């Protein structure tokens, strides 16, 4: 483990994922953490985090970003104390506006709902997501979704501030980069001691395009979609056979 991207969602974590990928790092984002490490994360959350397990989980991974690693960056840092930490950030109000829109976008996506309901992988993801979210609420004081909009906005902003302050206080200055997406390649490459690539700095998930981009590019999401199509085809076939059998019997 070389790099921990500790910024919260909607601070540019997907852009950072892409930037690190361009630089040649293997990055575990939210889908990779689910796909490869869901059982490990469920065990850690339910039985307690251990340095040994974290080292085993991430010893062959270059970098991590997004959930659940963003909110559990300290446990990963305890296991890899030489790792560099990148705190992606943006101003509180624009972050909250983007996060609220992002949450609404995810909750209302029909394809994702179908995947969570009718596919084996989607059901596993729903269970894993529920465990990690519940842990954040009860242990890490992540604001509840059912409180009023005003209180939720205030709570989320305070959570972000507390999260970022904790990172700045805990991580040695020579291992920490506070990064805004507009900063571009130079500070990132200087921090990582690598050559600036001859390509434009990426900008992913602009305008909440994450699910669309992920469906096209990520093999895990493509597999989940394939499972959905197969499940729906089987359900349609069962319905058709049942209908014609009933029709034949009535005739």
Specify the CATH number for the domain of residue 201. 3.40.50.300
pTM: 0.80
The pLDDT tens digits along the chain (251 residues) read 999 999 998 898 989 999 999 999 999 998 898 889 988 988 888 888 899 999 999 999 999 998 889 889 999 999 999 999 999 999 999 998 888 886 766 666 677 777 777 777 777 777 777 777 776 665 555 665 545 555 678 888 988 999 999 999 999 999 999 999 899 999 999 999 999 999 999 887 665 556 566 666 677 777 777 877 887 777 777 776 676 666 666 65
Q: What range defines the domain where residue 59 resides?
A: 3-250
Q: Classify the phi-psi angles of 184: left when phi > 0, otherwise alpha if psi is within -120 to 50, otherwise beta.
A: left
Cα 32 from Cα 189, distance rounded (Å):
24
Cα 251 from Cα 237, distance rounded (Å):
21
The CA–CA distances, whole Å, from 149 to 100, 119, 152, 156, 245 equal 10, 33, 5, 10, 52
Look at the chain and report how many structural domains it folds into.
1
């Amino acid at each position: 483990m070389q790099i921990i991207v500790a910024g919260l969602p909607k601070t540019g974590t997907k852009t950072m994922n892409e930037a690190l990928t361009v630089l040649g790092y293997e990055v575990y984002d939210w889908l990779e953490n689910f796909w490869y490490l869901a059982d490990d994360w469920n065990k850690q959350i339910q039985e307690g985090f251990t340095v040994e397990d974290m080292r085993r989980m991430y010893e062959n991974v270059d970098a991590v970003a997004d959930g659940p690693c963003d909110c559990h960056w300290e446990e990963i840092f305890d296991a890899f104390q030489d790792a560099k930490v990148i705190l992606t950030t943006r101003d509180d109000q624009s972050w909250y506006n983007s996060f609220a829109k992002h949450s609404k976008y995810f909750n209302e996506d029909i394809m994702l709902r179908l995947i969570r309901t009718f596919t084996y992988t989607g059901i596993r993801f729903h269970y894993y997501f529920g465990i990690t979210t519940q842990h954040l609420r009860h242990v890490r004081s992540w604001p509840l979704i059912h409180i009023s909009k005003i209180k939720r906005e205030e709570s989320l902003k305070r959570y972000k501030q507390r999260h970022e302050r904790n990172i700045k206080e805990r991580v040695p200055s020579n291992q920490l980069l506070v990064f805004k997406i507009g900063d571009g390649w130079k500070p990132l490459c200087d921090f990582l001691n690598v050559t600036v690539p001859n390509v434009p700095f990426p900008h992913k998930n602009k305008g909440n395009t994450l699910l669309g981009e992920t469906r096209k590019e990520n093999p895990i999401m493509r597999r989940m979609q394939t499972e959905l199509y197969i499940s729906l085809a089987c359900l349609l076939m069962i319905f058709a056979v049942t209908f014609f059998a009933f029709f034949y019997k009535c005739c």
